[in-house]
Amino acid sequence: MGINMTAVHTHFIAGNKVEGSSGKFHDVFNPSTGEVQGKTPLASAVEVNDAVAAAKAAFPGWSQTSVVRRARVMFKFLELATADKDNLARLLASEHGKVFEDAKGDVQRGLEVIEFACGIPHFMKGEYSNGVASGLDVYSMRKPLGVVACITPFNFPAMIPMWMFGIAIACGNTVILKPSEKDPSVPLRLAELMLEAGAPAGVLNVVNGDKVAVDALLDHADIEAVSFVGSTAIAHYVYARGTQAGKRVQAMGGAKNHMIVMPDADIDLVVDSLIGSAYGSAGERCMANPVAVPVGDKVADAIIEGLKPRIAELKIGPSLDPAMEMGPLVSAEHHAKVKSYIDMGEREGAELIVDGRGYRCQTQGYEKGFFMGASLFDKVTADMQSYQDEIFGPVLQIVRANSFEEAMELPSKHRYGNGTSIFTRDGDAAREYADRVEVGMVGINVPIPVPVAFHTFGGWKQSAFGDTNQHGTAGVNFYTKTKTVTSRWPTGVRAGADFFIPTLN
Ligand code: NAD
């Protein structure tokens, strides 16, 4: 692929593609070939200010548009994006590196939040109490916040933007989406489709960029709320700076999820589940289970024996080759980071059963892709740095436990608390695990326990800052504020001034 094929991306402000003016760009790779295929413009405060001004100008009209009409725009967007799904998935797979079918899943999981957003009239309903005192009625209404910023990571460039803008816009807000600079094409295309679906210009703007753009958003006086998903260090930073500026902030961070395997679990199901959960999307999922915790050595040995041939058979190659199960990592830099964690695990004394570091794609034209084979560690312990940190690559670590209590303690004490799974045939153990484990999302015989769109998504501990989850009713709460009206229509009888706070006696 020559330099002529490099696509120069834009921002999307007030319904128009806007070229960057900072002169700074971020390379967009095709991770399967290792070549640069595009350039993301990195916004300065100029583009951020323009986008916020456009969103602010669009807010009065959009927030006053009836909730039913707003829902119709979401229905239309659902129709257009569904029709465009293959195209979106191809763009996504080519920039992210996840395989095409998985990229379709990324789009689909986002569209499921849009389906939820189509029902927004129901969720915008307030409460009403009739006759709380003589002639006195009280009712509440939900109001949108204004201009909100949505800052998203590279690993779900379709789903996570839709988690956020789908609900924010349906609630009547206007949005600045600041997607990852690594894979900008899908977020830009989604913004075009929203415009086509009938969202007026300025309702959804996309500003591409890095820390400079994020800081400009966090400090901007006209932004009311910030929703962020990314790594923990940045999530904490965004939460601290955004709340300091008086904004409502939710900031989801990194993860290190554990799959507990009880002695009565179906080992074939466990092996299938671990292969998909730990190595799917090359391990670049915040709800993957990269740590397996077998209870008892017998279970651990059986899992390892089951995994070894399956890892050897894994089809790793170009993301758009339909025969492939796992694509490359997103960048050379991330490849080096994942490799350094495998080096660290060895140094720390874990047993490297399968080493994916040397994997090279042999297909012509893809030799320089950021591919890595699957790795498997046994005898990992809780004091190892490689266990405590998020690796975010195709590396599965086995931590052996001797009892249910010892197994449950691992995710409960880990600094991350995004997701966890337990595999067992025992309902009692599963119920107790779900009840007591100190983690925000739990799967029972489910390998990737991402809640469906009409429930809410959010981790605990260092996996999330702020107190509202993504999507579902929590999403509606985040993107709305309540106004409560206490109302009396005088009957004509005058009782004189009252100097004491009214009570319901
Ligand atoms: P990242 O933190 O590097 O980037 C996320 C966003 O922050 C991007 O838009 C990026 O441009 C911006 N950013 C990066 N550096 C910044 C800085 N110094 N100051 C301000 N903004 C900055 O994350 P990533 O590598 O794109 O995504 C992977 C991470 O996201 C993993 O840690 C993963 O676990 C996490 N993640 C979490 C969830 C969740 O819901 N908890 C979901 C998906 C991904």
pLDDT at 232: 98
423 alpha carbon – ligand 1 mean position (Å):
30
Q: Is residue 465 within 6 Å of ligand 1 at its C-beta?
A: no
> Would the CB of 214 count as within 6 Å of ligand 1?
yes
pLDDT at 494: 66
CA distance 300 to 316: 25
Domain ranges of the chain: 7-253+463-484, 258-444
Based on its alpha-carbon atoms, the radius of gyration of the chain, rounded to whole angstroms, reads 25
> To which H or E segment does residue 244 belong?
helix 232-244
Q: What is the pLDDT of residue 497?
A: 82
Of 3.40.50.1980, 3.40.190.10, 3.40.309.10, 3.40.50.880, which CATH number belongs to 258-444? 3.40.309.10
| pLDDT score, position 501 | 87
Q: How far is CA 164 from CA 27, 113, 158, 291, in A?
A: 25, 9, 11, 29
Which residue among the candidates 118, 150, 171, 286 is catalytic per the annotation? Answer: 286
Nearest to 30 by CA among 373, 391, 366, 372: 366
Which atom of ligand 1 is the closest one to the Cα of 464? 41
CB contact at 8 A, 181 and 260: no
**DSSP letter at 200?**
P
d(C-alpha 351, C-alpha 333), whole Å: 25
Regarding the beta carbon of 154 and ligand 1, being less than 6 Å apart is answered yes
CATH fold, domain 7-253+463-484, is Aldehyde Dehydrogenase; Chain A, domain 1 (3.40.605)
Q: What is the pLDDT of residue 3?
A: 42
Q: Is 370 in the pocket of ligand 1 (CB under 6 A)?
A: no
Q: For residue 230, report the distance from its CA to the centre of ligand 1, in Å.
A: 2
Kindly state if the Cβ of 469 falls inside 6 Å of ligand 1: no
- Could you give the residue ranges of the DSSP H alpha helices within 326-414? 332-347, 385-388, 404-413
Cα torsion 497, 501, 503, 505: sign: negative
Cα distances from 118 to residues 122, 252, 455, in angstroms, run: 9, 25, 15
CA distances (Å), origin 78, targets 144, 433, 454: 22, 37, 16
CB–CB of 230/249 below 8 Å?
no
Q: Mean pLDDT in runs of 10 for the chain (505 residues)?
A: 71 97 97 98 98 98 98 98 98 98 98 98 98 94 98 98 98 99 98 98 98 98 98 98 98 98 98 98 98 98 98 98 97 98 98 97 96 98 98 98 98 98 98 98 97 98 97 98 95 75 78
Atom of ligand 1 at shortest range from CA of 255: 34
182 within 8 A of 28, measured Cβ to Cβ: yes
- Counting from 1 in the atom list of ligand 1, the atom nearest the Cα of 230 is 30
Query: How far is the centre of ligand 1, averaged over its atoms, from the C-alpha of 395 (Å)?
Result: 20
